[in-house]
Amino acid sequence: MMFKIVKIGICLILIIDASISAVNAQAHANEDSSKSNWKTWGGASLELSLSKKVDFSLGYLHSENLQDSLKNSFNQGSAGLGYNFSKHFSVKGGFIITQFPSSANSTYRYFLRGSYKVGLGDKMNWTNGIQGEKHSANENRFDYRIIFITQFGLRKRLEFLGLSPSVSYWLYYNVGGSKIQYYDISGQPSVKATPDGVHRGRLILNMSSKINQMLSVSLYYIRQNEFNLFSTDRGLNVVKPSTGKITRPFSNYNVLGMSLKFNVDL
């Protein structure tokens, strides 16, 4: 019974992602398919277990664009503090700083995430979480974000190479940011407003391998799609009728990534 629930859950994640991808493909049917954007992400993190319930983490992430001669897209540093209230419920908070070499610009954000994990049978875990973010003033796409997270993974690693596969989906709700000029059906300017709403989804397929007690390595694939869910009244990818110019175009891309994680018990 539990295995059927897991299969249904994973199928729903893949169906949602495929449906959103199909909508995007239809919306951009006339665009050059060669513009598909691929990136590589490489990172490392250090997690210090201060006690059975408290941990502190530091992380670094480097991104390169495969379509632009491996040009550095961004560099990111993070720090977080987590607390496990029980084996099911945990909270983590921290900050993330992102530096963009192309513009010499940096942004930062604070986040707070709550997660609840339940076992599905003897072999699977299902984790759901909500993350709130407050972004710096020089981030013009949004001021706040609410992220809904769901993940299916193994309760215990496989004996072979200590492998642990997982699949997750992150759904982003944006609030605030720079205002966008919208247009009525006749092509005339109607209202200027912030593009609040659900505008991004990320499908993440991850395979982690535990090398030893202190080190694990993960290989992952991410597909990011942006969209205007439910309504375009406060949407992204707004076309100016008189020129065809697009304001706040969708940012869709694929990622192949690898990360190293070091665990230290103090």
Domains of the chain as residue ranges with CATH: 2-28+47-265 (2.40.160.40)
DSSP state of 121: T
Distance CA 5, CA 124 (A): 10
Which residues, in sequence order, are bridge partners of residue 170? 149, 202
Q: What's the pLDDT at 26?
A: 47
- What are the average pLDDT values for consecutive 10-residue runs of the chain, which has 266 residues? 54 60 49 67 98 97 93 97 97 98 93 97 95 97 98 95 97 97 94 96 98 96 95 88 95 97 95
Q: What is the pLDDT of residue 250?
A: 96
Quick one: which H or E segment has residue 132?
strand 124-135
Name, in order, each residue with C-beta under 8 angstroms of 137's C-beta and a sequence gap of 6 or more.
none
Q: Note the pLDDT of residue 33.
A: 39
- Choose among 226, 222, 244: nearest CA to 235: 226
